[in-house]
Amino acid sequence: AYGHVNLALDIEPKMLEHATGARVAANALFLPLADGIFDLALATNASINYLPESAALAHHFSEIGRVLKQGAIYVFDSCTPGRAETLH
């Protein structure tokens, strides 16, 4: 209704089956997307907890920064290490 285009991205194709609209199978460390194209990125279900190493997490944040427009927003959730272990 507002002219926004949504893109679902997940490494697991079965998760993408639940998404509507445009979908891309990819991981959070190597986004197959152009630079500076999004106004907002959203990571849900504590997905960044699957990047437990600080180097991988830093690389992920660099990739998100690369695909976001200047002044865009990145919203993500996370959980405590104990809860993350339970999720795995």
Q: Per-residue pLDDT tens for 5-46?
A: 889 998 888 989 998 889 999 988 899 999 999 999 988 876
Q: What is the mean pLDDT of the chain?
A: 86
Question: Taking 70 as the threshold, does the pLDDT of residue 88 lie above it?
Answer: no
Give the separation between CA 76 and CA 73, rounded to whole angstroms.
10
Q: In degrees, to the nearest 5, what angle opens at C-alpha 80 toward C-alphas 74 and 86?
A: 115
Question: Taking 70 as the threshold, does the pLDDT of residue 47 lie above it?
Answer: yes
Say if CB 51 and CB 30 are below 8 A apart.
Answer: no
Question: Taking 80 as the threshold, does the pLDDT of residue 79 lie above it?
Answer: no
Q: How confident is the model at residue 59 (pLDDT cuts 50, 70, 90)?
A: very high
Q: What is the pLDDT of residue 46?
A: 67
